[in-house]
A = this chain, B = another copy of it.
């Protein structure tokens, strides 16, 4: 393998400088004051935690309306949007569900999930239904670790074998305060030893 040049480094203040991140819509629901409330929250702080069983993390600031709904119901849905939904995704990350119906404001449709009681976002091509298995109080944010108990995908993003084709999903990335679309496909896993 050819050697590369390493540039001189500067020490920065410790921060969350991981790139790129997935921009997703997390949906949730719970009873609040005797009334069922549904909400959406835009997150980039999500990641995979385990293969068997499949698990995912979401980091949610304790002050968020969605934090209370997820803590109470112990359920959430991670909805993977397409890049052309970036305006709706950004809107759901910029207003609070305490005061507004984010589904209506963002012209998104709640639809019943298969296993959990939280709704899916119908317009998102992939939805991961999750049950909270573990909560770590990290500081400003709680880290919810959810088992992925069901997956729904739009017929339009499935390949001939019924598997999700990421190019058809056209997912939305986030990094450095900007939303990005994926670009060039560089190689398949394992191509270095193939």
Contact = CB atoms under 8 A, between A and B. Distances in A.
A177 B143 CA distance: 26
Interface in A1-60: 1-22, 24, 44-57, 59
Interface residues of A, number: 115
State the number of copies, please.
2
Given A22-B20, A123-B4, A175-B182, A48 B51 contact: no
Interface of A: 1-22, 24, 44-57, 59, 61, 78, 80, 83, 85-88, 90-91, 93-95, 105-109, 111, 114, 120, 122-123, 125-128, 133-134, 136, 138-141, 143, 145, 147-158, 162, 164-167, 169, 171-193
26 contacts: A1-B88, A4-B88, A5-B123, A7-B154, A9-B154, A10-B154, A10-B158, A12-B162, A12-B164, A14-B149, A15-B54, A17-B151, A18-B24, A18-B46, A19-B80, A19-B169, A50-B59, A51-B141, A87-B187, A90-B191, A134-B138, A166-B175, A173-B182, A179-B185, A182-B182, A183-B183
